[in-house]
Structure 1
């Protein structure tokens, strides 16, 4: 087996009747969520980490997919967990957080944890990416490195992520952000929203927007001062797990 292959495979850890659906971010892979999945499984919960269409392969494959595909993947993962779980929680990073919010607007989950979910992207140029679509098919990811990197953590904790982004997919993400943002008022489940202060991909104002839009559920919100965009692999990841554990214990169980 390709030593990188395990990084992009979906994962499932069977447990009790409370299921956690883990969803990774835009242009990333399930590797962003695997460590968190392993830690959550230690509490006895069932954990499913999905791989979104077009991700974990090549940017060319991602270019063939769109928001509708990723939303369908999220719903399929939810349905899979429901086979063994009575209660299902959505936990997502970045676009994964956006997909979790989407599931909640449909009333499909019992609770949500959204980490660095985008309402406003940090790079203002992304708002006008549709203008270059007729001329450019891919854009380089700012600060991109190789497909796998240790991110300065445990050398075994690698992350698979694209260094090029399909413009068409980015346009579709922007549409997804607008769609979800317009429906946030429909959310009725317990919610935990977390945001990294040092996030240079998602503008931290996004959490305040979400908080205001879903104030009807009195969401719990928390800023992380030391972490970057990939909160699930950042230096505060253990504290993040503790917050999620407290949320599930106090608001879901």
Structure 2
């Protein structure tokens, strides 16, 4: 890891979402690293493998992945900003409240406390029954399959990502659906984060698409409402859906996160342009 320069002494720990992979954070990681920041993208427990691998993990395992990465990463830099996409945003908030001395800031991207975007099927409102199904041993192999537009407004990009999802290589673009039992764990993580938002002290940048198809923008606003003792900035994007780190406004996301991290690191904010 770089050990010189003001930017290099500020580290950014990036966290992907449920059923996702570190690849969904790649463009953001490259953009920040190009500006000199030290970047580390974590792979969550149970991910980048099979559905069975994922179902065998719980939300505490995912959080442990981030906590372990933070403790490995922190000694190499002066300060750490944790940034996550979708469920990764919840995990970023969770680790910030549990490790306030190690986390200097949080970038919460497309935060997903609940699946309530415009593309989510109405039957998913019955998700509150899933814990009962699990108790009865029902649904271990059942999956909520993802549906168009898959969080991506850019049609050409969407086609490429969907092809990767269905290729069988989960390490490339993640799994094509959310296991019922993993949704249970996400709901438990969501409840945990909500109950601890009042403990957040680190500044938070919440970026969300106005037309998010997976999680309504009110998810981002919930951070501002619940984090009573932290400065929260909410930025809404006009031309993308849920996967804001790869969709049409990815350059805006990179620039906003860059400026946020630079301010935390005490680095003068310069004009940033990114070619990806």
Pair in the same fold by TM > 0.5: yes
Match of 2:90 in 1: 98
Aligned ranges 1:236-251 → 2 under 5 Å: 236-251=249-264
Q: What displacement does 1:103 show?
A: 1.1
Match of 1:165 among 151, 175, 178: 178
**Residue in 2 aligned with 1:129?**
130
* Structure 1 residues not aligned, in runs of 5+: 1-12
> Which protein has greater RCO, CA pairs closer than 8 Å, 6+ apart?
2
Q: Within the alignment, does 1:20 sit opposite 2:21 as a pair?
A: no
Determine the C-alpha separation between the residues in 2 that align with 1:129 and 1:252: 43
Report the CA distance between 1:226 and its aligned residue.
1.5
Greater shift in the superposed pair: 21-30 or 123-132: 123-132
Matched residue, 1:8: none
Q: 1:175 aligned to 2:188?
A: yes
Post-superposition CA distance 1:139-160 (Å, at most 9, x none): 13231799xxx96239998651
Which runs of structure 2 are paired with 1:41-190 in the superposition (5 Å)? 41-106=33-98, 107=100, 108-122=102-116, 123=120, 124-133=125-134, 134-137=137-140, 138-143=142-147, 152-153=156-157, 159-190=172-203
C-alpha separation in 2, matches of 1:128 and 1:227: 32
TM-score (norm 2): 0.79
Aligned to 1:36: 28
Cα deviation, residue 74, structure 1: 0.2
**Rg (Cα) greater in structure:** 2
Please, what is the CA RMSD of the aligned residues?
Answer: 2.4
Give the C-alpha shift of residue 129 in structure 1. 2.7
| Bigger shift: residues 202-211 or 123-132 | 123-132
What is the distance in 1 between the residues matched to 2:18 and 2:81? 20
Structure 2 residue runs without a partner (length 5+): 165-171, 267-276
Question: What are the Cα deviations for residues 44-96 of structure 1, in whole angstroms up to 9, with x where unaligned?
Answer: 11100111011111111101101010000001111121131110010100011
Alpha-carbon distance in 2 for matches of 1:237, 1:14: 25
Kept in 1: contact 2:139–2:181 (CA 8 A): no
1-structure distance, mates of 2:127, 2:78: 39
Aligned residues: 238
1:204 to 201, 217, 225: 217
**Residue 231 of structure 1 pairs with residue 241 of structure 2:** no
